[in-house]
Chains A and B, each alone.
Chain A
Amino acid sequence: MFGLDKTDTKLLLIVAVLCLFAPFILNPFPTSSGLAQFNAGYPDLMQRFVIFGIFAVGFNILFGLTGYLSFGHAAFLGVGSYSAVWMFKLLSMNVIPAILLSVLLSGVFALIIGYVSLRRSGIYFSILTLAFAQMSFALAYSVFTPITGGETGLQLALDDPRILGISQTAGGNIPVPALFGLEMRASWDLVLGDWQFTFNAGYYLCALILLAAFYMAIRIFRSPFGMMLRAVKSNQQRMNYTGLNTKPYTLAAFVISGMYAGLAGGLMASMDPLAGAERMQWTASGEVVLMTILGGAGTLIGPVLGAGFIKYFENIFSKLNDNVLHGWFAFMPDGLENLMVTIVHPFVGKGWHLTLGILFMLVVIFLPGGLVEGGQRVGRLFRRRDIKSTGPEAEAAQQRNAAE
């Protein structure tokens, strides 16, 4: 389907199904139960999952294929956000022109930075991208305040000179981003017994774009261009000896992944029309590196999983406070309850960084291939069960064991 082979079609379909049913999958717990704390199916977080998924998929096109580790991709996300918000301020609240401009501008930005940075490789390349991104952040936060809003971020105001559209609504409020009249924040609730599921227009737009972005990424991975990039990763020198100039290929990969980041930034601003300078900080660039490696660099689905993993922690674990903990352990006798709260307390709420740090280390130490490898291992574990079965399966398993 769509020029993909069977496995890839299956992968794309899985992602499509996950996206479509995310409001159900992410809200497994009834709203009245204590575990509802772990529900992630509310519009803002679902949008973030998908947007950072796009960001990480794009980053993976550069890092996973060519091995070039950029520490400055957040800058492109920031540029995308700023251009989208400016588009809302000046042109129209429709998200289409905003997203188009953010992809375009971040592409140009990536072309310039990529052209310079790709003159070096290895860690020297990483530091160059880091330096450019940190410069963007520092300047956006301070001297560029008139363009970027500085500390408070770039926001819409009641007196924006919007060419195609109104400056204020009839009620005297700032209009919200919309897709031809469909407001991005519009939501529908489906209530089934004790469960509640929210379907949000903005989320489904993001999800559609993620699917398109994911499809593009598969095509790139499987194309001759993708093969060329992999060749760069495995041995750039040899490529050069064959008389081939690799730079146009790596630059193209850099620009494409920069545009993915810009797309993510534009979507972020479309869901929530504010662009903050912190989006460009090195920690934000580091985050997408972590997402990609955590999920599984060089795999297609890995970065999306990594993005979901980190955003889930940031938004769900940070909200668990002692009050919530006491609620959970309330069924225990008092002494035990307090003990449990004391034990869990350092790892949740304000300690969510600690838990995330520990999990990072565990994943990197034991699952070098990231979450995707974890999944594969679990899968293999189940396949090993065949030894207990009967018939030809067991025979085959025994033979294999003997061979091993």
Chain B
Amino acid sequence: MDAIILQILNGLDKGSAYALIALGLTLIFGTLGVVNFAHGALFMIGAFCAVTLSRILTLSRTTIDETQTDFLGNPLKVEVPYAHDFFGPVVGDALIDWAVPLAILFSIPVMLLVGFVMERGLIKHFYKRPHADQILVTFGLAIVLQEVIKYFYGANPIPTPAPDVFRGSFDFGAMVGFEANQIIYPYWRLVYFAFAALIIGAVFAFLQFTTFGMVVRAGMADRETVGLLGIDIDRRFTIMFGIAAAVAGLAGVMYAPINSPNYHMGMDFLVLSFVVVVVGGMGSLPGAVLAGFLLGILESFASMSAVIDLIPGINQVIIYLVAITILLTRPRGLMGRKGVMED
């Protein structure tokens, strides 16, 4: 029982990352009708926003410490962050420690900008082109983006820890009456889950309750009619693309402490996020979120050693098995609409 609760919790957490990426992907597909293979790259760029901010905060001047030597026997160079000079050691260290949460603020304008540039510069010209072309050009873009990141940051993962107060885990099991150490849950993953819930809620509220959201939803349903009404749907779609990029970026920023960011993390998530979107039903926002959590939880169950012993290799293929099963039983995914992407 406790093992199952544990895996549900894990699944919710994994699922929140899947759901956030799939949400952005669906926003782009649903509004613009574009299949964006560069979405994983946006997630990756978000994570590197966190890396960049923490690099900026730890920008240092070098002083020579004559008492110590480095590996070649020369006097040791000691790095003192400028943050110490500006804010004093205490505040400076606190800033460095909180680099990842601070990166949320840093990443929003960056990701919006990246989104706008991408949409105006490239995606716009592909609205009328076949999906295959969209896939190819965004896939090319994804390669270019990740190679650029690799050029500047290297291929090795870069540790980007969460603030000190969020390190470690709490004993969830003991709180609800299980034995100690049976169900533990890291603080940062709880933060991630809450953050994901907040973003998902905000996106839904935005689409549901604002005029802007209403127009976009109308555009999703029938773009031409909205255009005939004299509404500048193009500008709104650009903004929508920026928002989707920001959602992916934020998912990446907060993900940085969970797994050290590396340049190919976007590609690692790409296939998975497409599976999530399709299982949820192309173009359906609630479907994407639902499928994200569902696949997260099932993946967690499949990684239990009792399950692996029963069916060897199940943890390797569970996502795809679920995808196949759902697609064969529900032709348009969990909540897909008829006629979307079937030609």
Contact partner of B125 among A132, A143, A356, A365, CB < 8 A?
A365
Contacting pair B136 A116 (CB below 8 A)? no
Partner-contacting stretch, out of A22-30, A118-126, A330-338: A118-126
B343 located at the interface, meaning its Cβ lies under 8 Å from any Cβ of chain A in the complex: yes
- Can you list, as one digit per residue, whether each of B289-323 has a CB less than 8 Å from chain A (1) or not (0)? 00000000000000000000000110011011101
Contacting pair A131 B147 (CB below 8 A)? no
Contact partner of A360 among B137, B282, B331, CB < 8 A?
B137
Contacting pair A354 B275 (CB below 8 A)? no
Contacting pair A358 B341 (CB below 8 A)? no
By the criterion of a CB under 8 Å from any partner CB, how many residues of chain A are at the interface? 42
Closest to A352 in B: B147
B140 located at the interface, meaning its Cβ lies under 8 Å from any Cβ of chain A in the complex: yes
CB distance from B18 to the nearest CB of A (A): 15
Contacting pair A127 B140 (CB below 8 A)? no
Closest to A354 in B: B147
Contacting pair B137 A365 (CB below 8 A)? yes
A360 partner residues in chain B, CB cutoff 8 A:
136-137, 139-140, 143
Name the residue in B141, B271, B328 with the highest tally of chain A Cβ atoms < 10 Å from its Cβ: B271
Q: How far is the CA of A179 from the CA of B142 in the complex (A)?
A: 43
B65 located at the interface, meaning its Cβ lies under 8 Å from any Cβ of chain A in the complex: no
A156 located at the interface, meaning its Cβ lies under 8 Å from any Cβ of chain B in the complex: no
Q: How far is the CA of A357 from the CA of B125 in the complex (A)?
A: 18
By the criterion of a CB under 8 Å from any partner CB, how many residues of chain B are at the interface? 41
Contacting pair A143 B343 (CB below 8 A)? no
B317 partner residues in chain A, CB cutoff 8 A:
134-135, 138-139
CB distance from A154 to the nearest CB of B (A): 18
Contacting pair A134 B143 (CB below 8 A)? no
CB distance from B259 to the nearest CB of A (A): 20
A288 located at the interface, meaning its Cβ lies under 8 Å from any Cβ of chain B in the complex: no
Contacting pair A127 B327 (CB below 8 A)? yes
Q: How far is the CA of A51 from the CA of B144 in the complex (A)?
A: 27
Q: How far is the CA of A248 from the CA of B130 in the complex (A)?
A: 26
- Contacts from A to B (Cβ < 8 Å): 67, 69, 116, 119-124, 127-128, 130-132, 134-135, 138-139, 142-144, 236, 282, 286, 289-290, 293-294, 297, 346, 351, 353-354, 356-361, 364-365, 368
16 further interface pairs, Cβ-Cβ under 8 Å (given A122-B343, A127-B278):
A120-B331, A123-B35, A124-B332, A124-B341, A127-B274, A131-B319, A138-B313, A143-B316, A286-B139, A293-B132, A297-B132, A351-B147, A357-B141, A357-B142, A360-B143, A364-B136
